[in-house]
Amino acid sequence: MDCISFDVGTRRLGVACAHVSPTDFRVLHWDVWDVPAMAGVELDINETTIEDLVPLFVRALPAALDAAIAACPTPPRAFIETQPMHMVRFQGGKASSVSNTKTKCLQHVLQVLLLQRGVAVSFVSPSLKLRGQRKQKQGGQATAQYKDNKEYAIVRAHELAAGGPRYAWFAALTKLQGRADAADALVQAYEAALDALGAQDKARKRLAREAASVSASVKPKTKKPKRSSAAVATDTSLALERYAQETEAMFK
């Protein structure tokens, strides 16, 4: 399976294209996109509204998406890390069901741009890329857990990309240049594609079992051979003769 994986961000949007199978993993394209720089503008993300960010994405991303899709030998499937949906209470008592409203909106802008290019899109849980990580101890600071998650993704990305065409680029990335974002995108590509391949395999096996069950329950109809009119007449004559003999015997 060829896939494109996105770790959504504005200044550091991680993107990784890869070919994934149970026995093979190849990096096809790997980058970190600075969307404002791609659009040729300077802005303060925190002071910029969603209304202004959406046109920025629509203007900056099409060419980059086309290049990423072209790097895949077969039509890719896209995986976008879904943004958290939980209640967050701000000062003043106001609450939101999304911890980062801007990023949540931008993930759907990215979805639309991909769908316009005929790319199937799946949203994946942020925890999927961490399933190879050892279970962390209960408790501890949330910031410490976040740091551990990022460090795990970086180490795992080094393992997956070692010796590949973009490994030197990744190894030279700094934190500010989006090292963790690049790592998240690549590890997510690997884990999400394997997950999708496993689901496809299970579906094929289920359909095969259902088809076999239906085939076994339907008994083929056997056609009786047609009899000639002469054979029917003979049988009728014999039956009448037998009836006459039985009747005659009753009155003797």
The percent of residues in the chain predicted with pLDDT above 70, rounded, is: 79
- Is 90 exceeded by the pLDDT of residue 140? no
- Is 50 exceeded by the pLDDT of residue 106? yes
pLDDT tens digit sequence for 108-122: 999 999 999 999 999
pLDDT at 85: 63
Longest dimension (CA), the chain: 123
pLDDT tens digit sequence for 167-188: 999 999 999 999 999 999 999 9
pLDDT winner (highest mean) among 26-30, 93-97, 145-149, 248-252: 26-30
Q: Where are the domains of the chain?
A: 2-207
- Where is average pLDDT lowest: 3-7, 69-73, 139-143? 139-143
pTM above 0.95, yes or no: no
- Where is average pLDDT lowest: 130-139, 153-162, 175-184? 130-139
In CATH, the number for domain 2-207 is: 3.30.420.10
Q: What's the whole-number average pLDDT of the chain? A: 84
